[in-house]
Each structure stands twice: as structure tokens, then as C-alpha cells.
Chains A and B, each alone.
Chain A
């Protein structure tokens, strides 16, 4: 492991102050950042640990409004009884991330701030039309995810929570890479009072995106049958050793159908 200075923040304000040290980065679960530091894909001079800040932890459900603190672990999201009632699709999605030891440490805030193009949470938050709350402002998910590992976050900005209105129906289906457990293709569908939203992760060259043609088809008829014969274009999709763009395009249609069937089940 390479040299780094570790700081444990006592509050969000303290974390913002500590972030001004050199080339500092926030540390939460560390499930992506620490491996990235070992390979020098990331080389921060300082780490500001926010994982123990109580204000950033926990799931709150008030009526249809769900708020999840940014330092809430995948395990705590996947097992939260209130969330399982309000939005079981999100709890289920969290149970599919990494492996049990990773889920005990990794956090929702870390996942979305990193915005890995194959991570699960970006698809969920985009499909849920979530709001990302920072120490400075509120950002709509549609404006938050900018591209590969890129978000709307500015220097010194800290994600404190995410919030969304639980949809009437939702489901996530993931075709996972058996080694990395990231999504080769993951599709999150929701049907709420603002209509149908479908977000795709793992496939786009620019990261997570909304599949508008699938949304249009499902808006007319929220049923897997509405997607029969759907051909998704491979334009703008990733090709790598795991799957070609064409293969991913096909998987998007397959996962979308399965997700709709699961949402209606």
C-alpha cells in the first residue's frame, strides 16, 4: 500500500475542512478506493474517513418518501425492514452487490460518487428519479451522473443522503459478471406517478443511461409483452472481453423484460 495520511472526520463540516488537505479524497467503505489505491489507479495524499458519521447513516421511510444516508452500507440497505416494504426492489438490488463482506463495508454514497459504469446504484437512482443531497445543494439523478466515473459533484462537495418517492412498481435485474460481480448489464425499471423510468448500467460507453425507447413502450403497456420483438441499438454500448456491444444490446432487452415481469409479480 502506498503512503497516505488518514483523517477521521468528526462531522460533515469537519470532513469538508479536511478535504482541503493536499489531494484529499473521502473514504467511506473503501471497497473501491482502497483496491484502486493499491494499483495506483487512485493516489490521494489524504483520506478523510466519513464512514463513522452517524448523521450519514440509516434508512428513513416517511409515507412514500425514502431517505438513505450516504454512509449506509449495502448490507443495511438490503436488510432494512421499512425499505423492504416501501421499495423492495432497492433492497434486493443492494443484496446483489459484490459479496457479503463487501456489502458490510461498501456504501451507497461511495458507489454513486464513484459512478462506476457497471455499478448497480446509479441505475437504481436514475430509474427512481432520486435526488442526491450534498452538503451544498440537491441534485436530480438525471443531472448527477455525467459519464464514466464522472458526476456533477464539485471539489469539496460531500454526498450526505439520497431521497426518492417510492414507486408503485419497481424491479432490478442484473446479468452479473461472475468474477467481479459488477453488472455486465443491469436494468432497473420503475412505474410511479411520473410514469415509467428505465435505467441501464454496465452497458453504456458513457456510463448509466435511461432507455427511452423501452420507457415509451412500457408507458403504453407496463408488461413484458410490450417489449416483444424490441431491438435495442448497439450504438454507444461498450465492447470488452466480457461481452460485445451487440451482446449487451440483446441483454438490455432480456433484462428489461425480466425486470418488468418481476415488477408486476
Chain B
């Protein structure tokens, strides 16, 4: 199943998105460019503020950690220099987590991270904040038994069944196939990391990089492989945007 995304559904925020996938449901909102507080103002750049709000309770160090990771990644793709002395405020409200989230025994901030990244990119696209590129992200888990292949984008259930796990990795790629973020947890060798990296790249990016004009006007092929997972997240993102543009341009074809 491809992730589900609803864009621009909130009325007050400048951009918003609800992202649902594998039991994760996150609401993201972007306000900006808006007025920045004097103490955060930067003369030649926009200030990026990320707020992660857990489904239950108020933010803890885990959320602060996620915010730092998101902040660094998103700041590198927002064209902050084109909107200097303003604030881009990204708020992510976790709505629900998979029921087995806490019992998988893996670092839950890592399994949540790719979904937060996807929600924020969707909300940023909805707010039409100038970006240098898009991003896609994915978790990869490596089970302890040496025989089994890395689990790409595992569900909480997959993780439970594959226990014990040796390591878990999160990769985020830009639209031009460059690695934007990598967070890994556990013990792993270089070879294992390489394997995980390749598997993640395969799922995130389209073969041969992004090119305008090729296959753009034909139906996007968000094909599913045997396990019913998205074959390509880049294509999925394009499909979501295509829907958004289609809705905006509705009036052109209406009678």
C-alpha cells in the first residue's frame, strides 16, 4: 500500500497535510513565510522552526531529538536565502501510532522519523515554500539472523516477527538521489550498511534520476511488488502533487 496523503485541508495554516501509512497518522502544518521574532531573526536567511507534538502528553527529549534531526534536514532543502528574515514554522502533530509500536523493541524515534519527514515535505509543498528539491525517506531494519534480507519499510508487525533485530537505519534522499540524512542504531558492519543503503535507495528514488518530460504525462507507475509495498516513493510523491495540481486547475476544464 502506498502512503495516503491529504493536502491543504486545514483552513488556518498556510500549508497542511495529513499522512497515513502503516498505522502511522500524522498531521502537519506549515506557516510561512511569517514574521520572525527579533532574537531568531537572521539577516540573510529564513529561520526554520520545527515542532513535533506527540499523540499523548507534551513533548519529551525524544521529540526534541526528532526536531533537531528534522530541522537540519529540512533547512538544507528549503531555499532559506530567498526569503530572508522570515520564519517558516513547521508543526507536526502525531495523531496515531501503530498499536504495537512500543513492543517492537526498536528505537521508536527512528521508526517515526521517515513518516515525520514525509509529512513535513507534503506540508511544505502545500504551503508552496520555495524548496531546492524534494525528499523521500525510509526505514530499513536488519534482523539478527544472517540469512534474512534487510526489511525495507517494515510495519510494526514485521518488526515484531523479525525480532531480534540487529540494527535499524533511516535514510532520506533528495529528489536528485543524494543522501540527505542517515541515522542508524545498533551494531552493523560496513557491508550491512551498504546493503541497507542500496535497498533504501531502490525504494526511494526513481531509476535513473529525475528528468522532466519523461513519463510525466502518462500515468505514474506506482507499482506494487509482491509484498504490496510501494515500489518507488519518488513516484508516489509525484502522484500526490499531480493530484494537488489537478485540483487547483479544475476550473480550467469545468463547464
Do A and B share a complex?
Answer: no
